[in-house]
Structure 1
Amino acid sequence: MTAPDISKLKIERNPATASARPARRRWVRPVLAGAVLLAVAAIASKQINGSANVETVTVAQSYPSQSYTLLNATGYVVAQRKASLSSKATGRLEWLGVLEGSAVKKDEIIARLENRDVSATLGQAQANIKVAQANLEQGQAELADAQANFKRTGELLAQKFITASAYDAAQARLSKARANIAGYQAAIAAAKASAQVAQVALDQTLIRAPFDGVVLTKNANVGDNITPFSSAADSKGAVVTIADMSTLEVEADVSESNLSKIRVDQPADITLDAFPELHLAGTVSRMVPTIDRSKATLLVKVRFSEHDARVLPDMSAKVAFLSKAVPPEDRQAVTSVQAAAIATRDGKPVLFVLDGEKVRQVAVTQGRKLGELVEIRGVKAGDKVVLTPDAKLHDGATVSLNKK
């Protein structure tokens, strides 16, 4: 068998084909080197410019009374003297003289029902009094005449000028006149009683304030039918609701596990959710002697030791029960900050206040410790300062906020 001739076979060595793959790899190394250089430059720039991720806190206003707090509780402002006013009579509301927020005085007329029929009855009763009084005057005249006639008949009988029967008739007339006087006096008393009944009925159509207070709600309008003792259709019961603002208290629920920290006449600090900057002194007035089984709490009532016109019924409130009364010098708010925000530079306490993208080193003076906060002077409430500043952080350093 003849061997194949492979002398004509050859491998084509094309320079372009041989260098194609290495050519594709030439750009990779310069790109990687450039990326590394850029990363190094960024890190170096960050170190040069002093940029660092930091967390910030806000300088706040605090009250030294916080250091006296034994227990905190929440509750609502409640008026201890509150009344829904209506009339005992039934009728159409003819006049209403108050609105929500109106201040009223005790016995002041605030509304009136239609009362012309009752006024007419009262007028009739008063006229009957006058008739009875006129009858009494007539009876008194008759009594005087009967007394004079009886006196004359007695003298004539003594002189035998008249008979005994005439004398007896005069005596009977006198007794009748005296009896008529008693009847007339009783008629006057009855007429006055009737007038009093009519006056009471008239007064029942007038709605008066039982105590000094402020109108909280207006439940009826002029023209509404007032039926306080029934549930008739299209009728109203109470016309207005008033409260005595001097009796406002905070009712707070306290867990029974914390009752050992509460006592009657204990000082307290009251704040309102509507006015968090307003702190009012209070005192525990009483503790309701029963436990709410569903919540395992006791109702504690705290009265206001000082009053403010902004306090309204049903406001949400927070009560801090204190170990002792707050001295006057501790009643004012002070500037405070978390202790971890205070750094030391050259042996002095400083804060790093955020100013745009940079921080400003501010020398401060430390004061009392208020729980987790420290009283501070040198900055103002609302300033944002760096929390736990690094030892390398310096005045004018560029920072970025930690997004955590």
Structure 2
Amino acid sequence: MATPDISKLKIERAPTAQIPGQRSRRRRWVKLAVGAVALAVLATAAGRLLNGKPSVETVTVAQTYPAQNYTLLNATGYVVAQRKAALSSKATGRLEWLGVLEGSRVKKDEVIARLENRDVSASLGQAQANIKVAQANLEQGQAELADAQAAFQRAADLLKQKFIAAATYDAAQARLNKAKANISGYRAGIAAAQANAQVAQVALDQTVIRAPFDGVILTKSANVGDNITPFSSAADSKGAVVTIADMDTLEVEADVSESNLSKIRVDQPAEIQLDAFPELRLAGVVSRMVPTVDRSKATLLVKVRFAERDARVLPDMSAKVAFLSKPVPAEDKQAVSAVQPGAIVTREGKPAAFVVDGDKLKQVAVSSGRKIGELVEVKGLKAGDKVVLAPDAKLHDGQLVGVVKK
């Protein structure tokens, strides 16, 4: 059998990247992607043309205060009471009576709490009884003195008549001198008894806790039955019973950077805003500047007292302080509506703004006033209104628009 000739057989080897099938599939995917993007663009453009709703950018009308025009510097701080005390008794004992709660208003020297004091009260009663004993001894001594004086006078008369011996006269005189000395001793005994009674009274007073000044109870640290040990840290014992603050001495402590100290001076007007009541603006005055710089924070502690009082202001509230160039006039203390100047345009010779209500425009006649920071005072709009920023000249009242969200 003849052997076949395979020398003319061969395998065609081509690079993978040049396979016709793969190249055609890649071109097909590219064409599909480009077509999808084109369709999306055309759909968006067609939607805008069909809906006829131009897109607009809006801003919100804000509520602001004209006092910003007088502000030189802003700082944050906390409300503190200049006069504040943690009340306790000097004596040690069990709390027997507590007559206040948190928020109670008390007057100076009003009894707030009382410790058990039966032992001290008994000591006071004993000391007062000793005073009466000393007084009775004095009365007895005074009677003896009167008798000794009478006896001495008789002895002197009889001696002149030589009815008695000189020794009898000398004995009468010695008795009189002794009676006088006893009177001095009795009076000293009364003074000592009174001093002991005073010591007992002080000890009794130390079991009673009184208000040192007019104020409000901030915290209650002990209850009836607790052991009060002001000078000890024994277990299950209390030191202070209540904490009281004088609300008339409330002030704001704010940290001011030392680089801004040139903008602050004592008696400078300020405006205080509480975080709890943003609408409340109270006048204040820089009372003092603590002459020590915090090296770690490079700040100085500035204390601002309230020139206006409000019952809602409480210790430890967060507050913002605006240091002003001059006091705020009465007409500038009320909040006004303000908006970015670009939202106000001229229509038919009059200023106007376009308020967005849902997806519909409403043209509102407005009047602009003074400039407040980067905003301008505006009348005819209220805080919270959404108005078109830089409205196009083609916009008109009642037009449907799409709002651009940022």
Same fold (TM over 0.5): yes
- Name 2:16's counterpart in structure 1: none
C-alpha deviation, 1:380, in angstroms = 1.8
Q: Out of 213, 224, 227, which is 1:225 matched to?
A: 227
| 2:162 match | 160
**One-letter amino acid of the counterpart of residue 198, structure 2:** Q
Give the deviation of 1:38 after TM superposition. Answer: 6.9
Alpha-carbon shift at residue 379 of structure 1 (Å): 1.7
Q: CA 1:134–1:40 in 2, change beyond 3 Å: closer, same or farther?
A: closer
Q: What is aligned with 1:384?
A: 386
Q: Distance in 1 between matches of 2:304 and 2:41?
A: 69
- Aligned partner (choices 342, 345, 360) of residue 343 of structure 1: 345
Deviation at 1:98, TM superposition (A): 0.5
User: Which residue of 168, 171, 194 corresponds with 1:169?
Assistant: 171
Q: Say if 1:383 and 1:138 are closer, same or farther in 2 by CA, change over 3 A.
A: same
2:301 to 299, 302, 305: 299
Match for residue 359 of structure 2 among 357, 360, 365: 357
Question: What's the offset of the Cα at 1:35?
Answer: 9.7
Residue type of the alignment partner of 2:140:
Q
Who is 2:331 aligned against?
A: 329
Among 258, 261, 275, the alignment partner of 1:259 is 261
CA shift digits 1:39-87 (9 cap, x unpaired): 665333333xxx2222322222211111000000000111111100001
Distance verdict in 2 for CA 1:45–1:184, change over 3 Å: same
Are 2:137 and 1:120 equivalent residues in the alignment? no
Whole-angstrom CA distance in 1 between matches of 2:304 and 2:47: 62
1:388 CA drift (Å): 2.2
**In 1, distance between residues paired with 2:372 and 2:403?**
27
Q: TM-score, normalised on structure 1?
A: 0.89
Name which of structure 1's ranges 37-46 and 290-299 shifts more when overlaid on structure 2: 37-46
Deviations 1:289-341 (A, max 9, x none): 11111111111111110111111111100000000111112112222222222
Question: Are the structure 2 counterparts of residues 261 and 155 from structure 1 closer, same or farther at C-alpha, using a change threshold of 3 Å?
Answer: same
1:54 corresponds in structure 2 to 56
The 3 A distance-change label for structure 1 pair 38 and 203 is closer
Q: Residues 48 and 54 of structure 2 are in contact (CA less than 8 Å); yes or no, is this contact kept in structure 1? A: no
Unmatched 5+ stretches in structure 2: 1-35
Matches within 5 A, 1:114-153: 114-153=116-155
Change (3 A) 1:114 1:389: same
Provide the residue aligned with 1:79 in structure 2. Answer: 81
3-state DSSP of counterpart to 2:187: helix
- 1:187-208, Cα deviation, whole Å (9 max, x unpaired): 0000000000000000000011
Is 1:44–2:46 an aligned residue pair?
A: no
Match of 2:203 in 1: 201
Q: Give how far 1:344 is off.
A: 1.6
Partner deviation per Cα, 1:165-202 (whole Å, 9 max, x = no partner): 11111111111111111011000000000000000000
Distance 1:394 1:39 in 2: 23
AA aligned to 2:48 is I
Aligned-partner residue type, residue 82 of structure 1: K
The 1-side partners of 2:55 and 2:161 are apart by 138
RMSD: 2.0
Structure 1: how far apart are the matches of 2:211 and 2:119?
24
Unaligned runs of 5+ in 1: 1-31
Separation of aligned partners in 2, 1:75 and 1:242 = 21
Distance 2:45 2:239 in 1: 83
Identical amino acids, percent of aligned pairs: 80
1:287 aligns with 289
Shift in CA distance, 41/54, structure 1 to aligned 2, threshold 3 Å: closer
CA distance in 1, matches of 2:97, 2:365: 68
* Rounded Cα–Cα distance in structure 2 between residues aligned with 1:302 and 1:141: 71
Q: Following TM superposition, by how much is the alpha carbon of 1:102 offset from its aligned partner in structure 2, in angstroms?
A: 0.6
Question: After the TM superposition, which segments of 4 or more aligned residues of structure 1 sit over 3 Å from their partners?
Answer: 34-41
Q: CA deviation at 1:241?
A: 0.5
- The TM-score, its normalising length taken from structure 2, stands at 0.88
Aligned residues: 372
Q: 1:123 to 1:273 in 2, by over 3 A?
A: same
